Amino acid sequence: MRMLITHFGPVSQVLPATALFKPILKRYPDAQITFVVRDEYKYIFQFIKNIKVISKTDLMGLESSFHVLINLYPQFNHKDFSAITIDEPLGFGFTNKCDEDDPFYDLFLDYFSKGNDDYKNLNIFQAYFLLSSIKWKGEGYNLGYHPKAKMKKGETTGIAVANYNLRDYVSDNIELPNNKIINIPYKRNLLKRMDEINKCKRVVTDDLTTLHLSLYLRKHVYFLKTFPIKERLEMFGSGEILEIPRTLF
């Protein structure tokens, strides 16, 4: 079975979608999965086993047929992929645009925007599994990347916070071993950022992407919530979400 999974959203939303791969392959051992993301994110997912990762540009030039499409982000213009044929589409509609006639458009609005009672208790993993017609059983990220840097000895805490006011908040409100605190340098390349994160046992951050990467690496995370987040975060019992007073940012 040839399966196409697409997600053209921001990387902070794409990372949790990788949890789908192992359950799908367990259910369909013969599945040949092609995962499509934005061009600038392709390198991040190249280490996932048994998954072919291509970019949106690659897909636009592809002439092929797939038994199943699972589209995890509403913006999917089928006119851009006229050479692709799909037998069974799942997820957000395989249409020219996501319009009011698409039932999954309502799900997207309810879950990510309106906070409808039917969906507001779902985390982003459960939402993706729901779109894929699979039950989520606690599966987490699947990136396949093993950082080059090893964790430092002791209780090292990495700080990945850009706002200096928040740095003061961290020192005043979170009990951390002061002699083992390091700053995690900002790395645009996410593989290199994982290398830096992996040096630490715990991470303090206000960045969603860094949060997901830290949880993938099984770090204890203090997430400083400074802005409204549409999806409910899943910390896998390895972190805390701290609501930050608006006066600090």
Percent of the chain whose pLDDT exceeds 70: 83
Residue 200 has what pLDDT?
94
Q: Which of 91-100, 130-139, 199-208 has the lowest mean pLDDT?
A: 91-100
pLDDT above 80 for 247? no
pLDDT higher than threshold 90 for residue 52: yes
For residues 40 and 245, the model is more confident at: 40
Q: Which two tokens stand for residue 87?
A: 């037998």
What is residue 118's predicted lDDT score, i.e. its pLDDT? 53
Is a pLDDT exceeding 70 seen at residue 182? yes
Model confidence at 205, pLDDT cuts 50, 70, 90, reads very high
Mean pLDDT of the chain: 84
Whole-angstrom distance, CA of residue 249 vs CA of residue 242: 14
**Backbone region of residue 65 per phi and psi (left: phi > 0; alpha: psi in -120 to 50; beta: other values):** beta
Mean pLDDT, residues 220-233 taken together? 86
For residues 63-85, give the mean pLDDT.
Answer: 80
Q: What is the pLDDT of residue 119?
A: 54
Burial 187-206 (b: 16+ CB within 10 A, else e): eeebbebbbbbbbbbbbbbb
Q: Give the pLDDT band (50/70/90) at residue 173.
A: confident
Confidence band (pLDDT; 50, 70, 90) for 98?
very low
Sheet strands (E) in the chain: 2-6, 32-37, 51-55, 64-71, 84-91, 157-160, 181-183, 202-205, 220-225, 239-243
Residue 97 is predicted with a pLDDT of: 40
Q: What is the pLDDT of residue 83?
A: 81
Number of residues written out for the chain: 249
Cβ neighbours for 65, distance < 8 A, ≥ 6 positions apart: 2, 84, 85, 86, 87
Whether 194 shows a pLDDT value over 60: the answer reads yes
What 8-state DSSP symbol labels residue 218?
Answer: T
pLDDT at residue 228, as a whole number? 80
